[in-house]
Each structure stands twice: as structure tokens, then as C-alpha cells.
Amino acid sequence: MMQMTLEQVVLAVGAQAGCALLLPLRVLPIIPVAAALACAGMLLFWWGCACGATFRMALGFNLAFYPSVMLIFLPLAHPLAARSGFPFLVEPAALIAGDYVVSVTRVDV
């Protein structure tokens, strides 16, 4: 149990540090959200282990693991989305406010 928790902490801290270094400032608010989910997931996992409830253990593991995986792939996906014009990944606040513009260029072959 301690080994899995240690692995989750190393994965989460590494992913959060990598995102903090590689992503632009407007995308950085996702890091505290992922950190809060990871902390809640680890607490839920420990509580599930103490009570013997496998559902809480599984839910806690998923809450701790998947935000870290998302943070690992986000620096890779962000430049690709910026080039291809996906506003939901580039600027989430612009998507909510409806202030985004998607331009389509026609290429004749």
C-alpha cells in the first residue's frame, strides 16, 4: 500500500512540475485542480484500504492516477491543438465566454 502511494506521489509531482515548466501561463490553473484531485484520491484510497472497501480504493486510485496521466500528455497535446485551431484546449476561458474564433482556410489542390 505504501509503495503504490509513493508511486502515485512521484508520478503526480513529476507531472505537475513538468507542466509548470512547459505550459504557458494561461493553462497553468489546471495544475492545482489536478493536485486537489490527486490528494483527494490518495485520501480516498487510504480510507478504502483501512475500511476494506474495494470500491473506495478503486475510486481513489483513479482520482489520483488519471489527472497525473492527463498532465503528462497535456504538454504534448497543447502545441498540436494550438496549431490546429482547437480553442477548447488552447484557452478554456475563451470557450466558456464564447470569445473564440476558429478560422478555416481552404486549400485548392
Please report which confidence band the pLDDT of residue 107 belongs to, taking 50, 70 and 90 as the band edges. low
The grid coordinates listed for 17 are: 512540475
pLDDT of residue 91 exceeding 60, the answer is no
Does some domain include residue 33?
Answer: yes
Does some domain include residue 105?
Answer: no
Q: Domain tally for the chain?
A: 1
Going from the C-alpha of 84 to that of each of 19, 20, 42, 56, 108, the distances in angstroms are 21, 23, 36, 39, 18
**Distance separating alpha carbons of residues 37 and 82, to the nearest angstrom:** 26
> Structure pTM?
0.64
Going from the C-alpha of 34 to that of each of 28, 52, 104, the distances in angstroms are 11, 26, 33
Lowest mean pLDDT among 12-16, 30-34, 93-97, 103-107: 103-107
Does some domain include residue 35?
Answer: yes
Domain that holds residue 63: 2-82
Does some domain include residue 61?
Answer: yes
Q: What is the pLDDT of residues 30-85, one digit of tens each?
A: 889 989 988 888 888 888 877 777 777 788 888 888 888 888 888 777 666 555 55
Does some domain include residue 57?
Answer: yes
The grid coordinates listed for 54 are: 474495494
Does some domain include residue 102?
Answer: no
